[in-house]
Amino acid sequence: MHQYECGNCGLRSESFVTRKGAEKYGKGHRHERHGGMAPISESILTYSGQMPQAGEWKVFLIVAVLIVAGLISKAL
Ligand SMILES: [Zn+2]
Q: How many angstroms is it from 7 CA to the middle of ligand 1?
A: 7
CA 23 to chain centre: 15
pLDDT in tens, 6-32: 999 999 999 999 999 999 999 999 999
Q: Which residues of 15-26 are buried (b: 16+ CB within 10 A; e: fewer)?
A: ebeeeebbeebb
3-state SS assignment for residue 1: coil
The pLDDT of residue 16: 93
Q: Is the pTM of this model over 0.85?
A: no
The pLDDT of residue 4: 96
- pLDDT above 70 as % of the chain: 92
Q: How many angstroms is it from 35 CA to the middle of ligand 1?
A: 10
CA 39 to chain centre: 19
Q: Please state the domain extents for the chain.
A: 2-75
The pLDDT of residue 46: 92
Task: Tell me the residues surrounding ligand 1 (ion) with CB < 5 Å.
Answer: 6, 8-9, 33, 39
Q: How many angstroms is it from 32 CA to the middle of ligand 1?
A: 9
